[in-house]
Amino acid sequence: MSSPKITADEIRRWKGHRRIAALTAYDYPTARLLDESGIPVILVGDSLGMMVLGYPDTTHVTLEDMEHHVRAVSRARPSGLIVADLPIGTYDSPHAALAHARRLVAAGAAAVKAEGGRAIVDSVRAIVAGGIPYMGHLGMLPQSVLEEGGYKIKGRSEIEHQALLEDARALEKAGAFSMVLELVTPPVAEEITARCSIPTLGIGCRTACDGQILVMHDLAGLFPWFTPRFVTPMASCAAEMRRAFTQWRREVESSPSPPAAQPPSTP
């Protein structure tokens, strides 16, 4: 018998009562493993652009890509809350944001996430008014990597500090049930967490938030070509897979060859 589905309202109520663990999933088997591990929030992130599709960043990910992977994750029927990223260019207006959020929900998501604060608050309000739970995302915004020239820690200056606080208040007021804080300095992340009534999920913020969110491949050591400095892998899946593949290849190559075909005899 499957466990009851975790809802966005339930996650919101965990603020101050329970630490929240969230991981990404992009396919059916991973979603099943996360469910069997009791992970309460499963993010189908546009990080699939790098982790699965081989893109250099998330700016190449399309809504169709997201729908495809959300469907795969939802087929696992996890009890955890499935949150899906709205990819770049899909929430530039309230009308577009709601229409595209509905497509992700139709694919199997229970909530959606987008990047930004006050600049997208009208889109956030439209999504929430449409009955779709919304998770915010502040700090380092991967979809802005080309504009900013890289992935940079946020909150170091007083201007960034105040902007993050105002963005967090705006998302909370617009109806977000939680928010991701990515690469925000721990003191600022801690202040946002203390001032907001909704849970914060940190990535690269140490333990300053109500919970943590990570890319599953980073935690499992499944993307060995790059690991963020703030992640300590808890497994070495890539190394174990490489060992198994190599051993199998060697066994195949060293196995006896079948007898050579004999030419047909002539009468």
Catalytic center residues: 182
| Distance, CA of 36 to CA of 39 (rounded, Å) | 8
DSSP string, 201-264: EEESSTT-SSEEEE-HHHHHT--TT---TT---S--HHHHHHHHHHHHHHHHHHSPPPPPPPPP
What one-character DSSP code corresponds to residue 188?
Answer: H
| Distance, CA of 199 to CA of 15 (rounded, Å) | 5
The angle that helices 186-195 and 158-174 make with each other, rounded to 10 degrees, is 30
Q: Tell me how far CA of residue 153 lies from CA of 23, 145, 205, in angstroms.
A: 21, 12, 10
| Distance, CA of 158 to CA of 130 (rounded, Å) | 35
Handedness of CA 217, 220, 221, 226 (dihedral sign): positive
| Distance, CA of 11 to CA of 125 (rounded, Å) | 19
Tell me the chain's radius of gyration from C-alpha atoms: 22
Q: Which long-range contacts (CB under 8 A, 24 or more apart) does 217-225 make?
A: 217/24, 217/51, 219/23, 223/50, 223/51
| Distance, CA of 126 to CA of 143 (rounded, Å) | 21
